[in-house]
A and B are shown apart, each in its own frame.
Chain A
């Protein structure tokens, strides 16, 4: 067997591995097909209702089409939270495999992020329905804008996923830390308020949060049909940086996984 055919074979195997792991999660979630779908959109939808009541009805926030605005941000945020929460304990959860079988470990967080990404993509029609209720019809810009944003978000989440999944094996309380950080970063992301409401001097801080340019872009795309290329550029920058950091940490620790378990 030549080296190239061996490499090609390994690539086929790796993609099969990721596909089977992703398919497993999807199968389990959609076993009761319709209910599975309802549950995966119920959580962000319920959150949207609560925030709508709190901020539109009570606080009377001055954001137009607030329901749609919330849905756009919350569904996006949900993917981020779900993936990070699952990834944090994914190697711990698969300890028996990690300790016995020498498969490429990155397949586990990769499949998990893909799985949540597919849920997010499947929930886009729900957003479209809410948009239609607000009188916003599907735009041409959605056709290229949404796939680009999904890909950018995938890069970013995979980077964080690799990072937290690897580090958690060595510092087992990272799980708690991640939960706390996520709830802080949520309020540092313009999901329930609009960017221009933030005082000028804090705005720069918000843009240090890698979720900010993504969420802002989704909101503008879904509410106004405008895709912001400069925001996408910033997202790409964060995606590459965090994927780089995540991969670096993962590849330095992966040979120690079986030792720490």
Chain B
């Protein structure tokens, strides 16, 4: 596979309903028969028989109502879950531009968090240090970068998280609603950055409820409803169908 390629082949995803378990040993043992039964049979099917491919440099939008299975699809693409059936293949480094700043520690400085976050996202320490200046410059945090990030505003945090994610030399970007990052200027800059990356062959999957964003950013779209593909094709057609179907 070429870096940036994604292939999702007849993928289904079902999982047990864990709440019986996560209520704890105590309740599990007290309700043993029903708990075992629900583990065995009460599988929740989040996705059913999904197939699509994304070529390097291409951008796919995933749309659908809440609970349709979009997040599960992102989790499968990110490689944090395995499909129950079918195969998900991705090639190259994946940068999750989702929940920016996950794993940041409030007592560490912006700079220290950048290194830590970049390493978690797959860079070696050496690579992270090499990109540090670019990341800091892009985030426009200036001298604040040496302050503990608990002093940051939420906008500053998101800017820093975004900067790290787009500087990890990704081949695939997984984006979740966060294109609206920071103020108008920074939003423009972050969109520009994503366009630049795509010109260099980085592919992107965007999950969003903001149809204008999907239209503006994606080439193709896939509409998922109740875990199944309802429509797929050029972005204009799918978004039109989705909006009129509402």
User: Is there contact, CB below 8 Å, between A102 and B79?
Assistant: yes
Partner of A12, one of B108, B116, B124: B124
User: Is there contact, CB below 8 Å, between B78 and A177?
Assistant: no
Tell me the A133-176 residues at the B interface (CB within 8 Å).
Answer: 169-174
Partner of A17, one of B26, B99, B112, B119: B119
- Report the bound CA distance from A201 to B170 in whole Å: 63
Q: A13-B122, A20-B119, A258-B80 are in contact. Are A97 and B21 (CB under 8 A)?
A: no
> What's the least CB distance linking B123 to chain A, in Å?
8
User: Is there contact, CB below 8 Å, between B82 and A255?
Assistant: yes
User: Is there contact, CB below 8 Å, between A96 and B103?
Assistant: yes
Q: Is A260 an interface residue (CB 8 A)?
A: yes
User: Is there contact, CB below 8 Å, between A97 and B124?
Assistant: no
User: Is there contact, CB below 8 Å, between B80 and A20?
Assistant: no
Q: Is B18 an interface residue (CB 8 A)?
A: yes
Q: Is B115 an interface residue (CB 8 A)?
A: yes
Question: What bracket does the count of chain A residues touching chain B fall in?
Answer: 20 to 34
User: Is there contact, CB below 8 Å, between B21 and A102?
Assistant: no
User: Is there contact, CB below 8 Å, between B99 and A16?
Assistant: no
Tell me the A222-243 residues at the B interface (CB within 8 Å).
Answer: none
Question: What are the residues of chain A within 8 A of B79 when measuring CB–CB?
Answer: 102
Partner of A20, one of B26, B81, B82, B125: B125
Q: 1/0 per residue B77-92: CB within 8 Å of A?
A: 0111110000000000
> What's the least CB distance linking A100 to chain B, in Å?
5
Question: What are the residues of chain A within 8 A of B22 when measuring CB–CB?
Answer: 169-172, 260
User: Is there contact, CB below 8 Å, between B78 and A100?
Assistant: yes
Question: What are the residues of chain A within 8 A of B102 when measuring CB–CB?
Answer: 96-97, 100-101
Tell me the B194-222 residues at the A interface (CB within 8 Å).
Answer: none
Partner of B124, one of A16, A24, A169, A171: A16
Give residues in B with beta carbon < 8 Å to A: 15, 18, 21-26, 28, 75, 78-82, 94, 96, 98-99, 102-103, 105, 107-108, 112, 115-116, 119-126
* Interface pairs A-B: 5 shortest CB-CB: A173-B24, A102-B79, A96-B102, A258-B80, A16-B125
A101-B96, A171-B25 given; 8 more Cβ-contact pairs under 8 Å: A20-B125, A21-B116, A27-B108, A97-B103, A101-B80, A101-B102, A169-B22, A257-B80
Can you report 30 residue pairs joining A to B where beta carbons are below 8 Å apart?
A9-B124, A13-B124, A16-B124, A16-B125, A20-B116, A24-B108, A27-B108, A27-B112, A28-B105, A28-B107, A31-B107, A94-B103, A98-B80, A99-B80, A99-B99, A100-B78, A100-B102, A101-B80, A101-B121, A103-B120, A103-B122, A170-B22, A173-B23, A255-B82, A256-B15, A258-B81, A259-B18, A259-B81, A260-B18, A260-B22
